[in-house]
Structure 1
Amino acid sequence: MADADPPGFELPLLLFAGFRSLIDELHAELAARGHTEVRPVHGFAMQAIGPYGASATDIGRRLGVSKQAAGKTVDRLAALGYVERADDPSDARRKLIRLTPHGLDMLTQSAEIFDRLRARWVTTLGAEGVAQLESSLRTVVPAAGFPVDVPGWFG
């Protein structure tokens, strides 16, 4: 007799646990490499800032939080040296939040670490298993892209 299907609530828990294990390992490695005070919300915020910078309003919208909440995160990132505020060349009334070389270094190291973590999953699950997992998730995830509004969504 075949085992019954697992209860539906296990799927999101397993997905979240997989996500959490990758993020926790990433941050442990970043800390070992000198980025000791960076937190997951900082990574999401830096992704929301992007390579060309963004206003606090844009960052808040991308994260799904208020401009004030985004501003607090930006203040912390600035204090840690990951971002800087600069005049927006397209609008003198606006400030642009930009990544500093320290922020770009953290994102570059994050990408390298994520590649290594994925390779470990390939070793454990096999290349075909990971490719199938990624393909299956792309099928069910909305085509609009990868939202970075996780902090706002959990809030």
Structure 2
Amino acid sequence: MSTDPPGFELPLRLFLGFRTLIDDLHAELARQGHPDMRPMYGFVLQAIGIRGTTAADLGRTLGVSKQAAGKTVDNLERLGYVQRGSDPHDARRKTVRLTERGVDCLARSARIFDDLRATWAKTIGEDRLRALESDLRQVTPPALFHLDVPGWFNGYQ
């Protein structure tokens, strides 16, 4: 009789690790002045990036409809994380750009993730965490940022 855990446990444990990190991130972001941030918003802010984007391009990057992207942008604009404007190179195109608040949130998120990683290293040991990270690099695609997770979860992919 095998003592190996059932195969379905691996994706659940990986997801629970992800969920734990994201929940801890958002709890700390709330303490640091960003109580309205949601996991989906993080994907959107990353996809908008420093250069900005259009709602159509944002939808394609996230793997969601232009309408879904626009609705999320509406929420982020209301919360002060993004602003809409005209493209300086093409007045017909409307762009979405991060505000100072949006940039601040991304910068804080990066620092918080570093702190969370340090906490995990303290809990399981730096060597074991580095081994886990190395092993995950071997079994996952090399592209680090797949921002289309929202669309993938919703079955758009």
TM-score, shorter chain, exceeding 0.5: yes
Does residue 35 of structure 2 align to residue 73 of structure 1?
A: no
Paired amino acid for 1:141: T
For residues 10-25 of structure 1, what are the structure 2 equivalents within 5 Å?
10-25=9-24
Unaligned 5+ segments in structure 2 are none
Match in the other structure for 2:112: 113
Write the letter of the residue equivalent to 2:20: S
Note if 1:83 corresponds to 2:82.
yes
Root-mean-square deviation (CA, aligned residues, Å) is 1.2
2:13 aligned counterpart, secondary structure: helix
Provide the C-alpha distance between the structure 2 equivalents of 1:34 and 1:144, rounded to a whole number of angstroms: 31
Q: Hey, what does 2:51 align to over in structure 1?
A: 52
| Structure-1 separation of matches of 2:61 and 2:140 | 18
- For 1:75 and 1:105, how far apart are their aligned partners in 2? 19
Alpha-carbon offset, residue 75 of structure 1: 0.4
For 2:116 and 2:143, the matched residues in 1 are separated by 25
SS at match of 2:142: coil
What percent of counterpart residues are identical? 62
SS at match of 2:93: strand
Q: How many residue pairs get matched?
A: 154
Give the superposition deviation at 1:114. Answer: 0.5
Secondary structure, aligned partner of 2:24 = helix
Q: So what's the TM-score if we normalise by structure 1?
A: 0.95
Q: 1:112 to 1:97 in 2, by over 3 A?
A: same
- Alpha-carbon distance, 1:89 to partner: 2.0
Q: Partner amino acid for 1:124?
A: T
Matches of 1:91 and 1:130 in 2, distance apart?
47
Per-residue deviation, 1:3: 5.2
Displacement of 1:128 in angstroms is: 1.1
Q: What is the CA–CA distance in structure 2 between the aligned matches of 1:10 and 1:127, rounded to whole Å?
A: 24
State the TM-score, normalized to the length of structure 2.
0.94
Q: CA separation in 1, counterparts of 2:36 and 2:149?
A: 19
User: 2:30, 2:144 → 1: CA distance?
Assistant: 29
99-108 vs 125-134, greater mean Cα deviation: 125-134
Match of 2:38 in 1: 39
Gaps of 5+ in 1: none
Q: Does structure 1 residue 140 correspond to structure 2 residue 118?
A: no
